[in-house]
């Protein structure tokens, strides 16, 4: 079971262990990670699960956002090169230890 590390803007780390196959957004919502709402239920139709992927994990989570995900990130605040929607990151065993930083504006 992989562990995902959600880093709050103040540096506090919330580590959650989840089953493979769910999204990083679902993992956050199931574990009450503050700042991740997932209002659209994972359909990439909102930006309430905006995260910053730690640069060391970019290659494993996939390339930068594209298509619908990129369009939705236009609605998020403080979008960066490493911005992704957590609903579009599928948790696999290879993502054990994944670091996702939470935007300050979502808290």
* Interval 11-24: pLDDT, tens: 999 999 999 999 99
Q: Which two tokens stand for residue 63?
A: 């390339």
Q: What pLDDT is recorded for position 63? A: 64
Q: What pLDDT is recorded for position 105? A: 80
Q: Which two tokens stand for residue 89?
A: 């990151």
Q: 76 in the Ramachandran plot: left (φ > 0), alpha (ψ -120 to 50) or beta?
A: beta
Instruction: Give the CATH number for residue 84.
Output: 3.10.20.30
Tens place of pLDDT for every residue, the chain, 107 residues?
Answer: 999 999 999 999 999 999 999 999 999 999 999 999 988 888 888 899 999 999 999 999 976 677 888 888 988 989 999 999 999 999 999 999 999 999 998 76
Residues listed for the chain: 107
Domain count, the chain: 1
- Four-residue CA torsion sign, 47, 78, 70, 1: negative
Q: What pLDDT is recorded for position 85? A: 95
d(CA 24, CA 97): 12
Phi, psi of 29 (to 5 degrees): -65, -45
The boundaries of the domain holding residue 96 are 3-106
């Amino acid at each position: 079971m992989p562990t995902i590390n959600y880093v709050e803007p103040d540096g506090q780390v919330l580590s959650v262990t989840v089953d493979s196959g769910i999204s990083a957004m679902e993992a956050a919502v199931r574990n009450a990670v503050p700042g991740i709402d997932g209002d659209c239920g994972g359909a990439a139709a909102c930006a309430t699960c905006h995260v910053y992927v730690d640069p060391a994990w970019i290659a494993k989570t996939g390339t930068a956002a594209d298509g619908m995900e990129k369009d939705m990130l236009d609605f998020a605040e403080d979008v960066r090169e490493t911005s992704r929607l957590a609903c579009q990151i599928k948790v696999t065993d290879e993502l054990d230890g994944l670091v996702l930083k939470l935007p300050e504006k979502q808290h």
